[in-house]
Amino acid sequence: MNEAQLRECAEVVGHDFVDWSLLESALTHSSFTAENPDEASNERLEYLGDAVLGLVLADEMYRRHPDFDEGLLTDLRKSVVNETTLGNAARRMGLGRFIRLGRGEEAAGGHDKTSILANAFEAVIGAVHLDAGTEIARRLSLRLLRDEIAAAVPGLRTLDPKTQLQELTQDLDLGSPSYDVTDEGPDHEKTFFAEVVVAGRVRGRGTGRTKKAAEQEAAAHAIESLRATSE
């Protein structure tokens, strides 16, 4: 990745790095390192960024909602810090075009896979944390996730897409949704593919690094489909 590409990505992210190697590592998927063994993948930075985001959102929800109990605060945090939401935020930013992928993953459309986008988002936050400290990472996280934080609905205990879809199909008298999940890849790096069926029709599809994440993404797409057809 050349300097111009890194600087363009930094502009998209909104942070001028001191150590540009951190950003490059944050954008390096494991499929790329499998083909380039001398490169480090973004998995360690992803781990760190996940922890940073968890703390930032826990603190933000705690301050915003002083009357909420720990259960609801946890639900609100999870409604933002999850694969689907972070993937969508990264997609909105245009982060995908900067991610370094292996040839096979690139051919499979990896630049727009929600799981890869979400992991890169977390890795970038981890990189900013190391580059500039916790406070800068906190401010950046809150800015990049402003819309997602605003969409967290106070008073709703179950915010995940599968639960929302279940409630929506009941409201529309369509019965309960069912999920069909398959997977591919080695045990240490499986990709799961989910389809959700409502009233005999496939209404949404999703992918993820876990079965749950794939089902949640499929449910989110099904919600969009059902709301569009019922308007």
d(CA 138, CA 141): 5
Distances (CA, A) of 28 to 36, 42, 183, 214: 10, 5, 23, 22
Give yes or no for a contact between 149 and 80, defined as CB atoms under 8 angstroms apart: yes
Q: How many CB atoms are located within 10 Å of the residue 176 CB?
A: 11
167 is catalytic: no
- Which of the residues 50, 60, 75, 83 is marked catalytic? 50
- Which of the residues 60, 122, 195, 217 is marked catalytic? 122
Distances (CA, A) of 2 to 9, 24, 120: 11, 9, 18
122 is catalytic: yes
Distances (CA, A) of 56 to 109, 119, 133, 145, 159: 31, 17, 13, 11, 19
Query: Known catalytic residues?
Result: 50, 122
